[in-house]
């Protein structure tokens, strides 16, 4: 009976045919009246675990979430699916606030999102006491623990609030990352009552992990972006200053990026976030202030320009890639300086100004976490295995899908290549950076090269068959070995190094241990044949549906993904539905979405089919 009900809800409101791993068990447990603690990685589908029971339980479900900036979108998303939902946080003006309170009293909503601070407001608490709350859901539950990476003192109010009610609603707590200590804290501090604890696989199989130790991070970043043109990605930097600098530099190279950090005015930040979410500027360069709960499903790469301070943060930030289940890449650009920056932040900061003893303990813990993070960056073992073990899961010795598992080394004689590269540096006057030199060698027809007249040089097009990436690797190696010197300017220039003449004129041999050139079917998502999702069977139609979605989203001023995910659009362009019933078969289409958008999308598909004859 309950089984049918929850499947019906899943299909009707969310448009999905089946539950994912863990979802069903958590929902059943909640419906049986027992508390739950769900620990599931980002993108696993935590929301469904409390949203489905919320619709089946008699009263209101109160969702406590720290993500004020995103509540509006989450509520919008649910409303679009036909689920009566509201939110209350400090961003509401008095009128909207009053209206929501009225709605609550009339029992209009099934789900109410609030920020934890709200539990301190007497008026609100009083009102809530008069309602029937069936369940209290604590999202991002690790915030209750000071061992977690983003402790929120206001989360400690939750327990007080629950105890102040004259009945005990079901408590369900969710988080993406929780080491065993944080788990214990969640259970104790939220006073969960004999909860069913469910940890679903942290392993995100569609994510490819890699750590690079580049000479020049900017060069490495431009490489990464070059392989991923047209894709959406997040670039994390440790400081606001870096965010500005990196964003400026990649925009100058023609990449559509926006900056995001806490130092920007609110309006600018909001606007940049929207530009990113709507894919008008598919790349965002951000500090870790960005992304908490961002549900942009088509993020195809996350680059860490700086190493974060701990592995929990890293896994959470990297986990924002590939939420649509598509192959995606998580690449960390490591340098020793990153470690020093993080050390500085730990020593300078004060975790608990009032209690020096606690402060010392917390700092010691931070140092330990930094060490774990640093080891991740320097290990030669499987990167995925390293992380899974840290989060308390078993892992194979070699996952076969990370930078370390993929790397096979070979030692090559690159004397001839070195001579070609050095000649090109000479012919272009020792005045240019890696990009111009590599473009010249590879015979690029780009405007810069042509306008400089480098297509007339004898070194033009003499390494056409070598990838730009490989040329860059060789240049790095030649720099490390003293054949080339790279200046320390903002735009580094290549000069002859002290050993250059020996190679050019004295026949000195150059060897290099190189990662084997990846086969055309590269393991990274960038080079991978896309499998499902936006790998639509009919790409032209998929693009049209995407454009339609953008128009509809813009008209309603909502993010595109709250209308349909990319996976849903891909499923449409595969199934080619011709009527309402067929449209309902599409993954991600429920009743409300059919009513709202069925006509528009069916018409677009029909038009396309007709053009195809």
* Residue 89 binds which entry of Zn ion, ligand ADP, none, CB below 5-8 Å type-dependent: none
Least distance from Zn ion to the Cβ atom of residue 523, Å: 10
First to last CA, the chain: 47
29, 47, 287, 313: which one contacts ligand ADP (CB under 6 A)?
A: 47
SS3 label, residue 379: coil
Residue 18, both tokens: 């089946």
- Whole-angstrom Cα distance, residue 527 to residue 519? 10
What sign does the CA torsion over 116, 117, 119, 123 have?
negative
* Residue 20 binds which entry of Zn ion, ligand ADP, none, CB below 5-8 Å type-dependent: ligand ADP
- Whole-angstrom Cα distance, residue 416 to residue 422? 10
Q: What string marks each residue from 262 to 301 as x (binds ligand ADP by CB under 6 A) or -?
A: ---------------------------------x-x----
Sole window of 40-48, 86-94, 370-378, 455-463 interacting with ligand ADP (rule: CB under 6 A): 40-48
Is 399 a binding residue for Zn ion by CB under 5 A? The answer is yes
Answer for the pair 290, 261: CB distance below 8 angstroms, yes or no: yes
Is 175 a binding residue for ligand ADP by CB under 6 A? The answer is no
Tell which residue, 324, 280, 301, has the closest CA to residue 224.
301
Is 44 a binding residue for ligand ADP by CB under 6 A? The answer is yes
Tell which residue, 317, 305, 288, 311, has the closest CA to residue 366.
311
Is 232 a binding residue for ligand ADP by CB under 6 A? The answer is no
* Residue 382 binds which entry of Zn ion, ligand ADP, none, CB below 5-8 Å type-dependent: Zn ion
Tell which residue, 313, 305, 271, 310, has the closest CA to residue 289.
313
Is 323 a binding residue for ligand ADP by CB under 6 A? The answer is yes
Nearer to Zn ion, 294 or 383 (CB): 383
Least distance from ligand ADP to the Cβ atom of residue 469, Å: 32
* Residue 551 binds which entry of Zn ion, ligand ADP, none, CB below 5-8 Å type-dependent: none
Is 402 a binding residue for Zn ion by CB under 5 A? The answer is yes
Is 560 a binding residue for ligand ADP by CB under 6 A? The answer is no
Sole window of 37-45, 65-73, 351-359, 490-498 interacting with ligand ADP (rule: CB under 6 A): 37-45
CA 391 to chain centre: 19
- Whole-angstrom Cα distance, residue 312 to residue 219? 27
Furthest C-alpha separation in the chain:
89
Is 388 a binding residue for Zn ion by CB under 5 A? The answer is no
Using CB under 6 A as the binding rule, the residues of this chain from 7 to 26 that contact ligand ADP are 16, 19-20, 23
Q: Please, which residues bridge with residue 485 across strands?
A: 495
- Whole-angstrom Cα distance, residue 341 to residue 611? 58
Is 570 a binding residue for ligand ADP by CB under 6 A? The answer is no
* Residue 43 binds which entry of ligand ADP, Zn ion, none, CB below 5-8 Å type-dependent: ligand ADP
SS3 label, residue 194: coil
Nearer to Zn ion, 212 or 495 (CB): 212
- Whole-angstrom Cα distance, residue 329 to residue 340? 26
Backbone angles phi, psi at 235, to 5 degrees: -115, 115
Least distance from ligand ADP to the Cβ atom of residue 20, Å: 4
> In 93-231, where do the E strands start and end?
111-114, 133-138, 170-175, 196-199, 207-212
Q: How many residues bind ligand ADP (CB under 6 A)?
A: 16
CA dihedral angle for residue 293, residue 391, residue 310, residue 285, rounded to 10 degrees = -40
Nearer to ligand ADP, 47 or 459 (CB): 47
* Residue 399 binds which entry of ligand ADP, Zn ion, none, CB below 5-8 Å type-dependent: Zn ion
Is 205 a binding residue for ligand ADP by CB under 6 A? The answer is no
Measuring CA to CA, how many Å separate 490 from each of 142, 246, 474, 477? 40, 11, 21, 20
Least distance from Zn ion to the Cβ atom of residue 291, Å: 24
Answer for the pair 124, 62: CB distance below 8 angstroms, yes or no: no
* Residue 323 binds which entry of Zn ion, ligand ADP, none, CB below 5-8 Å type-dependent: ligand ADP
DSSP 81: T
Least distance from Zn ion to the Cβ atom of residue 311, Å: 15
382, 463, 548, 562: which one contacts Zn ion (CB under 5 A)?
A: 382
Q: Count H helices, E strands: the chain?
A: 25, 17
9, 36, 48, 331: which one contacts ligand ADP (CB under 6 A)?
A: 48
Residues in contact with Zn ion by CB under 5 A are 382, 384, 399, 402, 405
The residue ranges that bind ligand ADP (CB under 6 A) are: 16, 19-20, 23, 40, 42-48, 295, 297, 323, 565
């Amino acid at each position: 009976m309950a089984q049918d009900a929850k499947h019906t809800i899943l299909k009707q409101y969310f448009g999905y045919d089946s539950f994912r791993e863990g979802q069903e068990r958590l929902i059943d447990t909640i419906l049986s009246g027992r508390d739950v603690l769900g620990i599931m990685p980002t993108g696993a589908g935590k929301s469904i675990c409390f949203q489905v029971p919320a619709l089946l339980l008699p009263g209101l479900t109160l969702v406590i979430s720290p993500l004020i900036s995103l509540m509006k979108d989450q509520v919008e998303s649910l409303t679009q699916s036909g689920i009566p939902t509201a939110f209350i946080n400090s961003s509401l003006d008095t009128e909207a606030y009053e209206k929501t309170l009225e709605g609550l009293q009339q029992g209009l909503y099934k789900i109410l999102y609030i920020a934890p601070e709200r539990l301190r407001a007497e008026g609100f608490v009083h009102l809530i006491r008069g309602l029937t709350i069936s369940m209290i859901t604590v999202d991002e539950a690790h915030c209750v623990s000071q061992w977690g990476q983003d402790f929120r003192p206001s989360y400690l109010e939750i327990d007080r609030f629950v105890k102040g009610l004259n009945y005990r609603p079901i408590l369900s707590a969710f988080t993406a990352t929780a080491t065993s200590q944080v788990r214990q804290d969640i259970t104790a501090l939220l006073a969960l009552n004999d909860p069913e604890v469910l940890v679903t696989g942290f392993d995100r199989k569609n994510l490819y992990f890699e750590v690079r130790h580049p000479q020049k991070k900017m060069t490495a970043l431009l490489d990464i972006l070059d392989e991923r043109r047209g894709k959406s990605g997040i670039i994390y930097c440790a400081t606001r200053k870096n965010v500005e600098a990196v964003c400026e530099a990649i925009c100058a190279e023609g990449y559509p990026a926006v900056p995001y950090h806490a130092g920007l005015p609110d309006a600018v930040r909001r606007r940049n976030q929207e530009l990113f979410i709507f894919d008008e500027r598919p790349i965002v360069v951000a500090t870790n202030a960005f992304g908490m709960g961002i549900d942009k499903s088509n993020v195809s790469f996350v680059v860490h320009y700086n190493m974060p301070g701990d592995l929990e943060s890293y896994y959470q930030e990297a986990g924002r890639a590939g939420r649509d289940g598509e192959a995606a890449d998580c690449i960390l650009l490591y340098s020793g300086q990153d470690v020093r920056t993080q050390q500085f932040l730990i020593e300078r900061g004060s975790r608990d100004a009032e209690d020096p003893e606690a402060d010392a303990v917390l700092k010691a813990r931070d140092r330990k976490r930094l060490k774990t993070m640093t080891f991740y960056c320097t290990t030669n073992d499987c990167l995925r295995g390293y992380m899974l073990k840290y989060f308390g899961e078993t892992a194979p010795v070699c996952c076969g899908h990370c930078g370390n598992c993929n790397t096979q080394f070979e030692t090559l004689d690159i004397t001839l290549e070195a001579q070609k590269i050095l000649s090109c540096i000479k012919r272009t006057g020792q005045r240019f950076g890696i990009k111009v030199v590599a473009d010249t060698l590879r015979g690029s027809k780009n405007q810069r090269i042509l306008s400089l007249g480098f297509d007339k040089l004898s070194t033009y097009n003499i390494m056409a068959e070598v990838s730009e990436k490989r040329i860059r690797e060789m240049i790095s190696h030649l720099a490390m070995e003293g054949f080339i010197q790279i200046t320390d300017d903002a735009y580094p220039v290549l000069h002859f190094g002290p050993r250059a003449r020996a190679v050019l004129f004295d026949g000195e041999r150059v060897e290099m241990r190189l990662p084997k050139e990846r086969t055309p079917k590269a393991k990274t998502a960038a080079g991978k044949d896309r499998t499902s999702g936006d790998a639509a069977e009919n790409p032209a139609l998929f693009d049209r549906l995407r454009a339609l979605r953008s128009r509809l989203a813009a008209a309603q001023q909502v993010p595109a993904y709250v209308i349909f995910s990319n996976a849903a659009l891909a499923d449409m362009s595969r199934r080619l539905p011709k009527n309402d019933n067929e449209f309902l078969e599409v993954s991600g289409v429920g009743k409300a979405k059919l009513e709202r958008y069925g006509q528009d999308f069916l018409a677009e598909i029909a038009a396309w089919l007709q053009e195809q004859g």
